[in-house]
Amino acid sequence: MDILFDLNIVLDFLIYERDHHDIAQKCNDIIEEKNWQLWIAASSVDNLYYILLNEAKRLNVLKEAVQCYVPAIRYRF
């Protein structure tokens, strides 16, 4: 089964301090358990990068730490 995550769910999963992190984590656990494919919209990739980069700056983390998330995103053309 293919699952399309909204950008806010992806951010909830990646940013521990967000209010719905636990719910997003549980969703991800179910998807992994069922071996489903998880997707995000291609139009969300730029926004995701920008938001994570700003979050890394806020946390005083190096830019390279944010870049490790981008290759993990699968693209379907």
pLDDT in tens, 19-76: 999 999 999 899 999 999 989 999 898 898 888 888 877 877 655 555 555 555 554 4
Q: Which residue has the tokens 């490790």?
A: 68
**Is 12 part of any domain?**
yes
Total number of domains in the chain: 1
Q: Is residue 57 part of a domain?
A: yes
- What is the pLDDT, as a whole number, of residue 8? 93
Burial 10-44 (b: 16+ CB within 10 A, else e): bbbbbeeebeeeeebeebbeeeeeeeeebebeeeb
Among 1-5, 11-15, 32-36, 55-59, the least confident range: 55-59
Would you say residue 49 lies in a domain? yes
Residue 51 belongs to a domain: yes
Domain presence at residue 77: no
The answer to the question of residue 22 being in a domain is yes
Q: What's the alpha-carbon Rg for the chain, to the nearest Å? A: 13
- Inside any domain, residue 53: yes
Domain around 16: 2-72
